[in-house]
Amino acid sequence: MLKLIEKSEKVFNKVVDIQQFISNMFLIFIMSIITFDVLGRNLFNKPLKGTFEMTELGAALLVFFALAITHRRGDHITIDFVVERFSEKSRNIVNGIIEVVIAITLLFMSRHIFDNGLRMMERKTTTTDLALSIHPFLFIITFTLIIFAITAIWKALHYFGLAVNKK
């Protein structure tokens, strides 16, 4: 059973790594379109149409694709001056509970964003300049939040495992 959990965690970590790569590609995309827009605007007096929309949507996707890897690595800002005074076992239990709360919150958020995506799809809501449909972006964000929630669950299991481990 333990090997199955470890194997599924490795597969899941590959998904998170792919999300990090996609996030990096969105960063390159945003940098490129802004560069081309500035060059087109200043050199040829022809700005790139829809740059604001593409930058806005690209930035949102960049952030959401990067959340799981950031959480897995522990690169979020944390304030733990109270928890650091606890014993190691208590600290691991508290951190595990926090991870469970994070996962539950993310699942509620993902449900809300998915429902919003369904409403946008029914209303055929699009961006103003490029007429891009909004709902696919919301469905992608829902997926990234679910991956983030699963990352929090893995971390919770890790912390609870450390709390019961007798070393």
User: What pTM does this model have?
Assistant: 0.89
Total tally of structural domains belonging to the chain: 1
CA-angle at 55, arms to 139 and 49, nearest 5°: 110
Distance between CA atoms of residues 93 and 89, nearest Å = 6
Domain membership of residue 62 as a residue range: 2-164
Distance between CA atoms of residues 77 and 43, nearest Å = 41
Is 166 a residue whose pLDDT tops 80? no
Tens-place pLDDT, residues 42-101: 999 999 899 999 999 999 999 999 999 999 888 777 777 787 888 889 899 999 999 999
